[in-house]
Amino acid sequence: MTSKQDTPQPSPRHLLLGAVLHAQRRKADKTLREVANLIHKHHAQVAQWELGVRKPDAEHVGGILCALSVAPDDHAYISSLARTTDHSVVILHPAHHRHHAEARSHFTQLAKSFVDYHPTLVPASLWTSDYARVVLKDLGAAPGCVSEFVRAQAAQRRLLRTPTAETSRKQVEVFLGEPALSSHLRAPAVTCSQLRFLRALEKANPMIRVRIVPSEICGSPALQAPFTCYETAAGPVTYFAHHSAGVFAPDHGAYRRLTADLRLLALPTTQSRKVIDDRIRDLERLSPAAELAQPPTATEAHR
């Protein structure tokens, strides 16, 4: 009989470390057995590490990274995940680094469902490439970081736009504050294209629901900061970001309660769609370029 002690509850850090190791192995085109042979371990043990069920020692992680010839930047990042003693919290610096986009993509894949909320912008999991560039530029990110982030973030967008058989039942709830509909990014055409993408995404993936939170609601103290809550094998994991850092941490109920409030206070789905469609028409009138732009297609998911 397997005891609870033999199968410890995965932690957010273990889940992320396992997902990153899995991604690096797939990138190197290696099987579990091949990696296990390279570090002289049983393939079942490596599989447990990738699932986040067990945490590998930092030495074993180092062996895997060397065996896979992982790039120095990723080597340092993954090694830090393995060495940190606090298993419950993951802190990444800065928030616009590509490792953030990759980590969020991993949690999107791991989650059974997730909720994404932002009071003043479209939530980051749904950014188009152009929208991401404008937002990150406003945050002061260096051009090189922006390009890397945009490329990494495209993987998450692809996952949502073209769900697989495995992910097609993943429920995604997106709440955006009414201020996000404005063209405060000083780029009406970009905002318009981003809103078109939201509408196209709902049509492409029926498990995605986008709802608008009225300005007076998202202006309340409890809802002034964005967050994403992932339902994972480790329990609910919340991501919240500041421009200088991003944090993945267990949710002990606070963000579930906020999510319940959003479900009660946001506009119904049908009304939200009408509000977005009306805003798209307004932005088209503001920007002739937006009128000529075609609605985002599957190609946008790969940009």
Residues 16, 90: contact at Cβ < 8 Å?
yes
Q: Looking at residue 184, what is its pLDDT? A: 65
Host domain of residue 100: 90-302
Q: How many domains does the chain have?
A: 2
Q: 5 in a domain, yes or no? A: no
Q: Which of 42, 63, 83 is the last residue of a domain?
A: 83
Q: Which of 24, 51, 83 is the last residue of a domain?
A: 83
pLDDT digits (tens, 9 = 90+) for 9-68: 668 888 899 999 999 999 999 999 999 999 999 999 999 998 888 888 888 999 999 999
pLDDT profile of the chain (303 residues), mean per 10? 50 88 93 92 91 87 92 90 79 82 90 94 92 89 88 85 74 95 80 95 91 93 92 88 82 92 96 96 76 48 46
Contacts of 136 (CB under 8 A, 6+ apart): 96, 145, 146, 149, 150
18 and 106, same structural domain? no
Q: 265 in a domain, yes or no? A: yes
Residues 112, 170: contact at Cβ < 8 Å?
yes
Which of 165, 92, 97 is CA-nearest to residue 136?
A: 97
Let me know if 48 is exposed, middle or buried by CB neighbors in 10 A (0-12, 13-18, 19+).
middle
